[in-house]
Amino acid sequence: MRFDMYGGPGVSQGAGENVFRDAEKQYQFHRDQIIRQRNGHAHGTRLVTRPSDLSSLVDLRDENTWSFAASTGSEPTGVARHDIMLLNDFNNEEAQERLPASAFTFPAHPGLVIIPGAISSTVQCQLIVDSLCVYPEPPSNTNHTLRYGHLPGLWHAATLPIPPNRKNLGGKERRDSDAEALRLSFKLTVDGPLGAKIAAKRAIKVAQEDSSSKFNKSVVAGGQREHDHDLAYKRQEQQEQQQHVSDHQSEGMPCPSQIPSSLWVRDGPGPSAKQMLHKLRWSTLGPQFNWSAREYEDGSTFRPLPSILRNLSVSIAEAVTELWELDAQDEEHLRMPSLPNSDSTAGLTLSTCECNETHWTINSALSLDSAHKRRQRRRPERPFSPDAAIVNYYREGDTLGGHLDDVEADMEQPIVSVSLGCEAVFLVGGKSRDVKPTAVLVRSGDVVVLAGHARKCYHGVPRIFCDRALPPALQNELQGLPSVLEHIAKSRINISIRAVK
Ligand SMILES: O=C(O)CCC(=O)C(=O)O
Ligand SMILES: [Fe+2]
């Protein structure tokens, strides 16, 4: 499914119109239907994932692929690596411990900084849990809000464990029990546009009731039932361990562990909670974004940007500020004539330039030394002060079409974008779709900073790799949360943190 959530002029229009679109097509997920023949008759079909050409995908953890990527592109790609120091604990504003990390810049995309593994697996786990269980809760809007109103308890309604007596059943009984559990999964009490109004009213009431509820025991429709929901416990455990007041508590919005029976019932007429979770595409933190008007709304209530996201994005933006302030002259070097396609063995040259950074440059390509000479470093006018984030949810086949984020009041403020879950292809091009984009593989825990020139450039996500294993450390971290692990192993979450007002 193509995921053009941004609407308006920022969205790709159709086939063959530009080089950005061509790159998107190169990476997009396709399944071919293979028809099996037996005795000259069609005998069943099989879906096979069409292999993509990943030869120019830049994998920043693999030095070899840099040279390959650089040699196949027609633009001067090249990558420079820089040593930076990053905060380790974003929960605690007092924490000072910094760990060394690598940040990468791209001469062809000044202002783009990528920091692989910037977020520890513990913090990734916390952000994944919050993105699923907390951030889509009211008062945040999601892509479902327009049609169904707010959907409190969505995660819980979608992941309610199968009845425990199932374990003692065998064979057919077990299958019947599974079918029963599926049939009994929670469904919305409303459907269709009319339902939205009803749902919205109910949701407000339920949210008010919920805001006084705490973790653990749940009451579900059709009688009293207790269940130790893994998320609720994990969050409580985390809070106790870290002895810090959670964002949600301090901001008066706990993660609800109740499934409001006015919204979710076992045999409602609307879609099931599982389907709704499956179709969750975005939620907003901070001022709500009106997708049709393409503007941030004034006045509507919203969930403030959680402090972990503010701390994380501010400290990362600070750690790489030196790398992204570039002046207009840099755009000059971007207009240098394209390099002829070098042969695939051309590779990269390792060099240390006058700024003491180590660069891999394309042989006989644009000299980074000269790029640096043209560059005059400039401090941003004001420090990064984020107040909002868009949380994007992707499943296999979902894409985010090439777009510009150009509705924020101050475009000098960067966007700090956190990848969680499955690997993805991140495309970043130029100010028009005619600039050939660079494709970078982003993994769980990687952070992309779009600042300076790159802040005003087209970017998008044409591919999610749901068939690749999650990093072992993250799997380990999610061991106690089977439903979260199962979900995130087949999906990707991106949190792009920004200053909108
Ligand atoms: O999912 C991503 O990595 C990119 C998200 C993005 O570009 C956005 O939210 O504006
Ligand atoms: Fe974006």
CB atoms inside a 10 Å sphere around CB 485: 19
Whether this model's ipTM surpasses 0.90 comes out as yes
CA of 40 to the centre of ligand 1 (A): 48
pLDDT at 306: 95
Nearest-CA residue for atom 1 of ligand 1: 494
Contact residues for 313 (Cβ-Cβ < 8 A; gap 6+): 384, 386, 416, 497
Q: Is 248 annotated as a binding residue?
A: no
**Residue closest to 113 by CA, chosen among 70, 85, 63, 79:** 79
Distance of alpha carbon 310 from alpha carbon 228, whole angstroms: 31
CA of 389 to the centre of ligand 2 (A): 11
Distances (CA, A) of 190 to 138, 267, 340: 17, 11, 59
Which of 494, 497, 498, when mutated, tests ligand 1's pocket best, judged by the most ligand atoms within 8 Å of its CB? 494
- All residue ranges of the chain with pLDDT < 70 are 1-17, 65-77, 161-170, 172, 174-185, 191-258, 325-381
Which of 459, 463, 465, 495, when mutated, tests ligand 1's pocket best, judged by the most ligand atoms within 8 Å of its CB? 459
Distance of alpha carbon 296 from alpha carbon 386, whole angstroms: 14
Distance of alpha carbon 409 from alpha carbon 26, whole angstroms: 34
Nearest ligand to the CA of 417 is 1
Q: Is 403 annotated as a binding residue?
A: yes
pLDDT at 344: 27
Ligand 1 pocket: which residues have CB below 6 Å? Answer: 390, 392, 400, 405, 417, 419, 426, 459, 461, 494, 496
Nearest-CA residue for atom 8 of ligand 1: 496
| 8 A C-beta contact, residue 108 and residue 78 | yes
pLDDT at 188: 83
**Residue closest to 117 by CA, chosen among 160, 78, 88:** 88
Distance of alpha carbon 319 from alpha carbon 287, whole angstroms: 26
pLDDT at 222: 26
CA of 352 to the centre of ligand 2 (A): 33
Phi, psi of 170 (to 5 degrees): -125, 165
Nearest-CA residue for atom 2 of ligand 1: 494
pLDDT at 47: 83
Which of 446, 493, 496, when mutated, tests ligand 1's pocket best, judged by the most ligand atoms within 8 Å of its CB? 496
| 8 A C-beta contact, residue 80 and residue 53 | no
Tokens of 379: 């401090």
| 8 A C-beta contact, residue 291 and residue 6 | yes
CB atoms inside a 10 Å sphere around CB 375: 18
Locate all alpha helices (DSSP H) within 350-446, ordered by sequence.
368-374
pLDDT at 254: 44
Nearest ligand to the CA of 291 is 1
Q: Is 459 annotated as a binding residue?
A: yes
Tokens of 180: 């029963």
Q: Which amino acid is at 366?
A: L
